Amino acid sequence: YKINMQELQVMEEIGKGQYGTVQKVYHIPTNVTMAMKEIRLELDQAKLKQILMELDILHKAKSEYIVDFYGAFFIESCVYYCMEYMDAGSLDKLYGNGVPEDVLAKITSAMVKGLSFLKDKLNIIHRDVKPTNVLVNRAGEVKLCDFGVSGQLTQSLAKTNIGCQSYMAPERIHSSEASTYTVQSDVWSLGLAMVELGTGKYPYPVPDKNEQISMFVQLNAIVAGTPPSLPEDKFSEECRDFVAQCLSKRPQDRPTYKQLLDHPFLTKYENVEVDMKSWAEQAFNLRKNEQNEP
Ligand code: ADP
| 128 carries an active-site annotation | yes
- Per-residue confidence (pLDDT) for residue 31, from 0 to 100: 97
pLDDT band at 105 (very low <50, low <70, confident <90, very high): very high
The mean pLDDT value of the chain amounts to 92
For the entire predicted model, the pTM comes to: 0.93
Pocket test of ligand 1: the residue of 37, 41, 81, 138 to mutate, having most ligand atoms within 8 Å of its CB, is 37
Whether the CB of 143 sits within 6 Å of ligand 1: no
Distance, C-alpha 90 to centroid of its chain: 8
Q: Is the ipTM of this complex over 0.90?
A: yes
Ligand 1 atom with minimal separation from the 16 CA: 10
Q: What is the pLDDT of residues 6-55, one digit of tens each?
A: 999 999 999 987 778 999 999 999 999 999 999 998 899 999 999 999 99
| Ligand 1 atom closest to the CA of 87, numbered from 1 | 25
Residue 294 has pLDDT above 60, yes or no: no
Tens of pLDDT, residues 211-226 = 777 888 999 999 999 9
CA-closest residue to ligand 1 atom 9? 17
Amino acid 147: pLDDT: 87
Cβ of 83 closer than 6 Å to ligand 1, yes or no, is: yes
| Closest ligand 1 atom, residue 84 Cα | 23
- Say yes or no to pLDDT of 58 above 80: yes
Q: Among 32, 67, 90, 134, name the best residue to mutate to test ligand 1's pocket (greatest count of ligand atoms within 8 A of Cβ).
A: 90
Q: Give the residue numbers of the binding site for ATP.
A: 37
With a 6 Å cutoff on the Cβ, whether 14 touches ligand 1 is: yes
